[in-house]
Amino acid sequence: MNLTTRQSTKKRLTPVALCGALILTATLSTSLLSGCVVVVDGDKKVSSEMSSSEREQSNRTSIAGLSLGSDPASVLSLMGTPDFDENVTIDDVHYRILYYRTQRVHKDGLTTKDECTPLVFIGGELIGWGQEKLSFLQN
């Protein structure tokens, strides 16, 4: 019986080379995917990019079409995720305040509450929106 041993001619990567290849792959994947953004607006339309001014206009238009007495779920369905969402209890009364960006005050790339319109709910019903309605709670 004649057995021959065959040696593999494939070169194996050393642990250092393998680690380097993995880091390179991860870096390239991250840089290639970082420009990919998908935004779903309140109308469930998908766009690859929505400028801040388009988003602000869309939010203003949606807010103008809201009806007093709407519940938070229907507003969230229409408008999407708010920029800020607060739950406040004052004198045993529960308020929920959803903030949606409607204007730009600072050119810093961040969204702050002074750039948002607050939607105020009491007991699960929309009672109004805007700074005046929010001031009403703080008095």
Q: Does a structural domain hold residue 29?
A: no
Q: What are phi and psi of 31, to 5 degrees?
A: -70, -35
In tens, the pLDDT along 17-74 reads 555 555 655 554 444 444 434 444 444 444 446 788 899 999 999 999 999 999 999 9
The answer to pTM > 0.85 is: no
Q: Does a structural domain hold residue 36?
A: no
Q: Does a structural domain hold residue 62?
A: yes
Q: How far apart are CA 98 and CA 127, in angstroms?
A: 12
In tens, the pLDDT along 18-32 reads 555 556 555 544 444
The total domain count for the chain is 1
Range of the domain at 108: 51-138
CATH of the domain at 114: 3.30.1450.10
* Per-residue confidence (pLDDT) for residue 135, from 0 to 100: 82
In tens, the pLDDT along 73-126 reads 999 999 999 999 999 998 999 999 999 999 988 888 888 899 999 999 999 999
Identity of the residue numbered 129: W
Q: Does a structural domain hold residue 21?
A: no
Q: Does a structural domain hold residue 6?
A: no
Q: Does a structural domain hold residue 44?
A: no
Q: Does a structural domain hold residue 58?
A: yes
